[in-house]
Amino acid sequence: MRLAFHSRVAIDIARIMRHYEEVAGGQLAGEVYAEIQTHFVAVAKTPETHRKYSGDLRRVNLTRFPYHFLYRIAGDHVRVLVVRHHRRHPNVGLSRR
């Protein structure tokens, strides 16, 4: 399936990477980015294997880092709505379409 992203997903990822660059340096920021990308590719290949979060939203947890992203299957594409920290308020990003 084709991936589509809400316009704010790039901002979400940039914020996460900026945090890791500040606290641990560029290498760790690159590692979190690589893990996010790996999970995006996996979702595009098998979008229905990930658990439902709420309604038609599905959630994917990163393996090494305390982040997850929410997406929905819409026709022939997967739309990623938000990438957020596990401890963010559960409503963050849910109004995105």
C-alpha distance from residue 14 to each of 2, 7, 20 (Å): 22, 12, 10
Q: Could you tell me the pLDDT band of residue 85, with boundaries at 50, 70 and 90?
A: very high
In angstroms, the CA 36 to CA 51 distance is 17
Structure confidence at residue 66 (pLDDT): 97
pLDDT digits (tens, 9 = 90+) for 23-80: 998 899 999 999 999 999 999 999 999 989 888 999 999 999 999 999 999 999 999 9
Please check the confidence at residue 91 and state whether its pLDDT lies above 90.
no
Please check the confidence at residue 84 and state whether its pLDDT lies above 90.
yes
Structure confidence at residue 51 (pLDDT): 86
Structure confidence at residue 70 (pLDDT): 96
Q: Which two tokens stand for residue 17?
A: 């990477």
> What structural domains does the chain harbor?
2-85 (3.30.2310.20)
